[in-house]
């Protein structure tokens, strides 16, 4: 970012740039060209951008307008201003809008590598066949820039030009013989040609160059399968992941480099759209540029947690808590992830702190109530869950967790009432129906226990839902009704299904239940 | 080309003829098929034929996930009069406070085909159809074996089974059948997985989106936009076994189907490994696809990864939408074609003959041209009757397209559809530009169903658009080179899904096709088989293998007619 160098006007408030009688155009107005070589630039609607991001883009628009109005501006200066605006559009997710300013920049600075290179990227995003032409133009300007060689190679491969693509991948290897992306490209070409041994060699070379690029285990596995080496294929399938080989691309990084807002916006949007991997990557870049921003760290923690990296998430949340100790959500997230890591006491402390900071924080109260229930601290759990239901009388799971706490306190009739209250509010909610079936199967109070009704409800759920927990409830109901043979059968099916679906953490509990049924006993510790 | 009246002969155990048609000539005139350089290959005739329907996605401004999914269509002969009728699935009002009564509901259009010209009449009310779920898809089959075609409807909400009463009306048998799956379902598929002669039902489910877990997703520019499947949890699919008395048993757990969860959008059944048992392929959105291989004992084994159909060629997960199976290289086995999200290629998996596949997306030429499109409807059909299955991709975005937003487009999701010609050597070429102005239409395409709606021996297409009018693309060139047609019925009932038929043409080319209805995205196709003769003329040799593995061979089968046969 070189905005500092482009004139004092930019560094001051926009109003200060206005000369008397000189009204600046609205930010969305078309930026008309200076001469016939150039094309007009239509700014996109920036209304949905975060304020700081919007201002960043508008500053570049304004700067370009200033350059265009200035009496003597060199092509190089004007080209740079167009290019910077293109980068802003590009960085904040407007590739189609970036095309015109990049084109103008290229016309004004034809020797510059970046403009055709960036154009190739945005045109590819827009599905334009011109992307290849631009990629080639860029590569000619910098023939040893790996990322440009690979971009053109990939575009040629996608267009069916395998011979040209192969030549480019090989030229990439001439620059760096350990370029995993180039080896992977050669592997793909070999697969297309049916040259399976060559494919194996290329994918093996790619993995050797970049062992973390675990997505490559999949095409390698299929190549081994084609050779009849099923064992090796299976071995590689088990190791496959989602990481793709990459190549350093400082020129492309420059589009958003130094701009924490752009990285954060990209990451947050990816996270909201349910794509945690790119979200984590972009948010990590934003954190690197703005380590003091606790809000970005919170998002990064969420992305890492979605990826299963709980320790990584914990580190982000801890730092966020140091940066902003008064933010309830920071402590809630900290407590949530500590709970997932099994560090119960620390989780309870963090969640308690979140509730202290914000007594209306529903998620914190709910999670604290659940954690306390699971820890056997039923009285305290009830206190939290009652407070939760006061804040949100329709809370989806509050009454069910309350019923479990009441069960723990031996207040069975109240527990049943809590379940019934929940079902009155949410009659189709499957977890509530499941809890009632289980309650009827396991309630220690014989006046409330109803094995026959439990069995009916559990079978209905097992038919339509089919999770291992439902099968397990059927087993409990059968045991409560005295049919231990049936209970054993259902419990075995539940265990098998839990293994199939990868459900973990309940193996010992379920095995103990099976043992109890085999001994002609019901399970004393079952709950929900 | 329209013949005015198709010719029909009957053979086998049962005999059927279609009204108003004479018996066949022994040999149809041979017409050479040449590349058409002028004139529209497909002409859009929906409104002109009375097929007037506009999909309502029920957009609320809240960007509820189902609003972007759209719906499918079904082509089936509900009244048994010999021509295909059209069922169109409708969305409608959506939200926690909206009821079924707020929705217009699906529509059934009867085809009153006259002189080779389809005319459609809305008969929804008189057929007794009341389908006001927030609709997604339709599947068709003779579920109860009484000879007429029943309907299964997938919804965001409870699914419905509508049983054909055989008198032009339907009865809702959802409760009795036990098939009222409440999850968000997309595509469904009938197949006889246990080979007991009764058609079972597979239902692909999508995600656990609900109004209570709705998420606020944004485009890269911060605008409100629709979430992707990864914002929610995938739902397990369902497999229902037909008990034969109107009831289905949910065997999802015992069959192993629930051992893997995926955000399913498309499903197709075929015998991928040639063991004479139907397998299943499920196209999952942004997750690994499933290839369920039938283990012959009521269970399935998920073989997606080792088979090479789970992921893209580079090992990345793809957003699979619609899917179709067919023999694109005429080597006798079933290949797969599926549509994907923008920036991912549409994918062709070529069967190596054993249920193992190779990704041939780039090699076939189908990959590159699809990168700028988000495909939903996916059809393999021989549009020009040359004997090679071609490809139609029905496109429409799921995220707002910036290029359209820039010009102030109020619905920035529309794209054009793509037609690819199979040149016969495993290479496809995009021919959309020459296919007619119907391919200039830019809409948010979703479902696509293929069938011979005017009974002229070629394949027409019905396209259902998100928030747009239905389109009927009438094929004007497909029958020019002659065809051999086949309708194969089960011993006592309707279409014998799973039947395999092979035609040996006079030029030695062998064409293998399978009777199925479910394919594409949330849609159901014409179950009749058409074999393009490519100007080689008849008669041809026909080999039929039924799902029960009885095999019959006929030589001297005349061209230019749909033959109707029956047998288990």
Chain A environment of B178 (Cβ under 8 Å): 463
Percent of chain B with pLDDT over 90: 81
Interval A92-116: pLDDT, tens: 889 999 999 999 999 999 999 999 9
Residue A503 reports pLDDT greater than 70 = no
Predicted local distance difference test score (pLDDT) of residue B449? 98
Preferred mutation among A42, A222, A234 to probe B, highest tally of B CBs within 10 A: A222
Predicted local distance difference test score (pLDDT) of residue B25? 27
Chain A environment of B261 (Cβ under 8 Å): 501
Give mean pLDDT, residues B418-422.
98
Predicted local distance difference test score (pLDDT) of residue A275? 77
Q: What are the helix (H) ranges across B398-542?
A: 402-406
Residue of A nearest to B235 (CA): A465
Q: How far is B404 from chain A (nearest CA, A)?
A: 9
Q: How many CA atoms within 13 Å lie on the side-chain side of B181? A: 31
- Judge contact between A194 and A207, C-beta under 8 A: no
> How large is the ipTM?
0.86
Predicted local distance difference test score (pLDDT) of residue A524? 62
- Token match 């396991």: residue? A442
Whether A471 contacts chain B with CB within 8 A: yes
Predicted local distance difference test score (pLDDT) of residue B219? 76
CB contact set of B361 (below 8 Å; sequence gap of 6+): B312, B313, B345, B346, B347, B348, B367
Whether A427 contacts chain B with CB within 8 A: no
Per-residue DSSP letter, B27: S
Preferred mutation among A221, A274, A302 to probe B, highest tally of B CBs within 10 A: A274
- Judge contact between B137 and B523, C-beta under 8 A: yes
Residue B286 reports pLDDT greater than 60 = yes
- Judge contact between B525 and B450, C-beta under 8 A: yes
Interval A291-339: pLDDT, tens: 889 999 999 999 999 888 899 999 999 999 999 999 999 999 999 999 9
Give mean pLDDT, residues A268-293.
84
Residue B336 reports pLDDT greater than 90 = yes
CB contact set of A399 (below 8 Å; sequence gap of 6+): A389, A418, A419, A421, A422, A425
B178/B317 Cα distance (integer angstroms): 34
Q: How far is A321 from chain B (nearest CA, A)?
A: 25
The secondary structure element, H or E, covering residue A389 is helix A378-391
The per-residue pLDDT of chain A, averaged, comes to: 88
Chain B environment of A266 (Cβ under 8 Å): 220
Whether A433 contacts chain B with CB within 8 A: no
- Judge contact between A93 and B220, C-beta under 8 A: yes
Q: How far is A473 from chain B (nearest CA, A)?
A: 15
Chain A environment of B235 (Cβ under 8 Å): none
Q: What are phi and psi of A79, to 5 degrees?
A: -60, -40
Residue of B nearest to A270 (CA): B220
Predicted local distance difference test score (pLDDT) of residue A16? 33
Residue of A nearest to B226 (CA): A273
Predicted local distance difference test score (pLDDT) of residue A243? 81
Residue of B nearest to A245 (CA): B314
Strand bridging mode B561-566 / B483-489:
parallel
In which band, very low, low, confident or very high, does the pLDDT at B443 lie, cut at 50, 70 and 90? very high
Whether B451 contacts chain A with CB within 8 A: no
Residue B264 reports pLDDT greater than 90 = yes
Chain B environment of A428 (Cβ under 8 Å): 182
Predicted local distance difference test score (pLDDT) of residue B306? 96
Interface of A with B in 301-340 (CB under 8 A): none
Whether B157 contacts chain A with CB within 8 A: no
Give mean pLDDT, residues B542-559.
93
Residue B392 reports pLDDT greater than 90 = yes
Preferred mutation among B253, B306, B365 to probe A, highest tally of A CBs within 10 A: B253
Q: How far is B247 from chain A (nearest CA, A)?
A: 13
Predicted local distance difference test score (pLDDT) of residue A501? 67
Is the Cβ pair B365, A274 closer than 8 Å?
no
Interval B352-383: pLDDT, tens: 999 999 999 999 999 989 999 999 999 999 99
In which band, very low, low, confident or very high, does the pLDDT at A246 lie, cut at 50, 70 and 90? confident
- Of the candidate ranges A137-151, A302-316, A420-434, B502-516, the one whose mean pLDDT is the lowest: A420-434
Q: Tell me which of B257 and A465 has the higher pLDDT.
A: B257
Predicted local distance difference test score (pLDDT) of residue A253? 82
- Judge contact between B441 and B417, C-beta under 8 A: yes
Is the Cβ pair B228, A497 closer than 8 Å?
no
Is the Cβ pair A269, B218 closer than 8 Å?
yes
Percent of chain B with pLDDT over 70: 93
Q: Write the residue in A225, A265, A273 that is nearest to B217 by C-beta.
A: A273
The per-residue pLDDT of chain B, averaged, comes to: 91
In 3D space, the residue among A175, A135, A174, A171 whose CA is nearest the CA of residue A154 turns out to be A135
In 3D space, the residue among A411, A380, A414 whose CA is nearest the CA of residue A399 turns out to be A414
For residue B266, what are the CA distances in angstroms to A418, B72, B242, B283, B518? 41, 11, 21, 5, 9
Interval A175-211: pLDDT, tens: 999 999 999 999 999 999 999 999 999 999 999 999 9
Task: List, as own/partner pairs, every contact residues A8-14 make where C-beta atoms lie below 8 angstroms and the sequence separation is at least 24, other chains included.
Answer: A9/A63, A9/A66, A10/A59, A10/A62, A10/A63, A10/A66, A14/A59, A14/A62
Is the Cβ pair B316, A273 closer than 8 Å?
no
Q: How far is A161 from chain B (nearest CA, A)?
A: 10
Is the Cβ pair B306, A242 closer than 8 Å?
no
Residue of B nearest to A279 (CA): B220
Residue A402 reports pLDDT greater than 50 = yes
Residue B10 reports pLDDT greater than 70 = no
Residue A38 reports pLDDT greater than 70 = yes
Residue B522 reports pLDDT greater than 80 = yes
Residue B24 reports pLDDT greater than 60 = no
Predicted local distance difference test score (pLDDT) of residue B47? 96
Q: How far is A96 from chain B (nearest CA, A)?
A: 6
Chain B environment of A42 (Cβ under 8 Å): 406
Q: How far is B287 from chain A (nearest CA, A)?
A: 11
pTM (2 d.p.): 0.78
Residue of A nearest to B350 (CA): A192
Interval A420-457: pLDDT, tens: 999 998 887 778 888 999 999 999 888 999 999 999 98
Q: What is the CA radius of gyration of chain A?
A: 31
Residue of A nearest to B227 (CA): A273
Q: What are phi and psi of A260, to 5 degrees?
A: -60, -30
Chain B environment of A96 (Cβ under 8 Å): 402-403, 406
A245/A273 Cα distance (integer angstroms): 24
SS (H, E, C) A220-270: HHHHHHHCCCHHHHHHHHHHCCCCCCCCCCHHHHCCCCCCHHHHHHHHHHH
């Amino acid at each position: 970012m070189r905005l500092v160098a482009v004139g004092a006007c930019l560094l001051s408030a926009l109003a200060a740039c206005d000369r008397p009688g000189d009204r600046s155009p609205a930010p969305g107005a078309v930026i008309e060209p200076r001469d016939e070589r150039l094309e007009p630039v239509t700014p996109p609607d920036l209304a949905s951008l975060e304020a700081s991001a919007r201002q960043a883009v508008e500053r570049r628009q304004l700067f370009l307008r200033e350059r265009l109005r200035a009496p003597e501006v060199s092509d190089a200066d004007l080209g740079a201003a167009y290019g910077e605006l293109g980068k802003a559009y590009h960085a904040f997710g407007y590739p189609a809008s970036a095309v015109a300013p990049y084109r103008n920049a290229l016309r004004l600075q034809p020797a510059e590598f970046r403009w055709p290179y960036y154009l190739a990227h945005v045109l590819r995003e827009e599905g334009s066949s011109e992307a290849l032409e631009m990629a080639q133009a860029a590569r000619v300007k910098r023939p040893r820039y790996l990322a440009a060689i690979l971009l053109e190679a990939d575009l040629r491969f996608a267009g069916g030009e395998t011979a040209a693509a192969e030549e480019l991948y090989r030229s990439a290897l001439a620059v760096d013989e350990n370029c995993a992306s180039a080896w992977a490209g050669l592997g793909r070409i070999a697969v297309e040609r049916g040259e399976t041994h060559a494919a194996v060699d290329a994918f093996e070379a790619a993995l050797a160059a970049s062992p973390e690029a675990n997505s490559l285990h999949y095409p390698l596995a299929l190549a081994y399968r084609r050779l009849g080496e099923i064992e090796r294929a299976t071995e590689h399938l088990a190791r496959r992941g989602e990481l793709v080989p990459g190549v350093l691309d400082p020129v492309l990084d420059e589009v958003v480099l130094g701009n924490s807002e752009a990285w954060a916006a990209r990451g947050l949007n990816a996270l909201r759209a349910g794509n945690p991997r790119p979200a984590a990557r972009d948010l990590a870049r934003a954190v690197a540029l703005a380590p003091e921003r606790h809000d970005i760290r919170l998002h990064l923690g969420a992305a890492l947690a979605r990826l299963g990296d709980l320790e990584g998430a914990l580190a982000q949340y801890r730092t966020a808590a140091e940066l902003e100790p008064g933010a309830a959500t920071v402590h809630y997230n900290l407590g949530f992830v500590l709970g997932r890591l099994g560090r119960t006491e620390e989780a309870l402390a963090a969640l308690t702190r979140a509730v202290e900071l914000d007594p209306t924080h529903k998620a914190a109260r709910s999670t604290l109530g659940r954690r306390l229930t699971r820890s056997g601290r039923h009285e305290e759990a009830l206190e939290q869950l009652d407070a939760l239901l006061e804040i949100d009388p329709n809370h989806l799971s509050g009454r069910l967790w309350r019923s479990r706490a009441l069960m723990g306190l031996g207040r069975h009739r109240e527990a049943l009432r809590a379940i019934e209250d929940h079902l009155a509010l949410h009659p189709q909610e499957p977890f509530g129906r499941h809890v009632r079936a289980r309650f009827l199967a396991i309630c220690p109070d014989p006046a409330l226990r109803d094995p026959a009704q439990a069995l009916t409800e559990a079978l209905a759920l097992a038919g339509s839902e089919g999770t291992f927990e439902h099968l397990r409830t059927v087993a409990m109901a059968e045991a409560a009704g005295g049919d231990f043979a049936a209970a054993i059968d259902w419990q075995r099916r539940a265990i098998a299904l839990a293994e199939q679906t990868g459900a973990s953490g309940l193996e010992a509990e379920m095995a103990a239940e099976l043992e109890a049924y085999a001994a002609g006993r019901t399970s004393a510790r079952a709950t929900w | 080309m329209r013949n005015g009246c198709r010719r029909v002969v009957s053979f086998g155990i049962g005999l059927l003829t279609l009204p108003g048609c004479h018996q066949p000539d022994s040999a149809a005139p041979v017409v050479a098929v040449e590349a058409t350089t002028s004139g529209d290959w497909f002409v859009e005739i929906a409104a002109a034929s009375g097929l007037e329907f506009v999909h309502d996605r029920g957009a609320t401004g809240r960007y509820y996930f189902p609003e972007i999914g759209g719906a499918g269509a079904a082509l089936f002969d509900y009244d048994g009069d010999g021509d295909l009728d059209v069922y169109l699935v409708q969305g409608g009002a959506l939200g926690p406070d909206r009821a079924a009564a707020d929705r217009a509901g699906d529509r059934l259009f009867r085809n009153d085909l006259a002189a080779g010209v389809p005319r459609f009449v809305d008969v929804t009310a008189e057929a007794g159809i009341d389908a006001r779920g927030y609709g997604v898809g339709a599947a068709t089959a003779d579920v109860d074996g009484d000879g007429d075609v029943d309907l299964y409807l997938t919804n965001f909400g409870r699914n419905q089974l509508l049983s054909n009463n055989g008198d032009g009306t339907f009865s809702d048998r959802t409760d009795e059948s036990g098939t009222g799956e409440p999850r968000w379902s997309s595509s469904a598929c009938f197949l006889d997985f246990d080979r007991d002669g009764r058609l079972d039902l597979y239902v692909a489910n999508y995600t656990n989106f609900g109004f209570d877990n709705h998420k606020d997703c944004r485009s890269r520019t911060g605008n409100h936009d629709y979430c992707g499947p990864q914002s929610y949890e995938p739902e397990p699919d369902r497999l229902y076994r037909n008990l034969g008395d109107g009831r289905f048993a949910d065997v999802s757990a015992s069959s192993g189907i629930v051992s893997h969860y995926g955000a399913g959008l498309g499903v197709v059944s075929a015998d991928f490994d040639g063991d004479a048992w139907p397998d299943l392929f499920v196209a999952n959105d942004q997750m690994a696809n499933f290839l369920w291989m039938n283990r012959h004992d009521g269970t399935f084994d998920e073989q997606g990864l080792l088979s090479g159909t789970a992921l893209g060629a580079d090992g990345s997960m793809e957003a699979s939408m619609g899917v179709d199976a067919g023999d694109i290289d005429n080597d006798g086995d079933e290949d797969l074609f599926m549509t994907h999200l923008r920036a991912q290629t549409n994918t062709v998996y070529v069967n190596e003959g054993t249920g193992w596949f190779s990704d041939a997306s780039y090699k076939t030429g189908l990959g590159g041209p699809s990168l700028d499109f988000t495909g939903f409807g996916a059809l393999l059909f021989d549009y020009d009757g040359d004997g090679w299955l071609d490809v139609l991709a029905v496109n429409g975005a799921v995220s707002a397209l910036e290029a359209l937003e820039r010009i102030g487009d109020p619905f920035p999701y529309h794209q054009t559809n793509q037609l690819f010609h199979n040149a016969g050597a495993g290479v496809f070429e995009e021919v959309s530009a020459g296919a007619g102005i119907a391919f200039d239409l830019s809409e948010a395409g979703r479902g696509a169903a293929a069938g011979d709606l005017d009974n002229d021996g070629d394949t027409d297409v019905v396209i259902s658009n998100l928030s747009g009018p239905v389109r009927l693309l009438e094929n004007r060139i497909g029958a020019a080179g002659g065809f051999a047609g086949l309708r194969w019925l089960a011993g006592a009932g309707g279409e014998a899904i799973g039947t395999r038929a092979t035609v040996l043409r006079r030029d030695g080319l062998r064409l293998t096709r399978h009777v199925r209805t479910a394919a594409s995205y949330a849609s159901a196709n014409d179950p009749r088989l058409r074999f393009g003769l490519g100007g080689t003329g008849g008669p041809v040799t026909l080999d039929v293998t039924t799902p029960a593995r009885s095999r019959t061979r006929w030589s001297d089968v005349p061209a230019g007619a749909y033959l109707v046969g029956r047998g288990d």
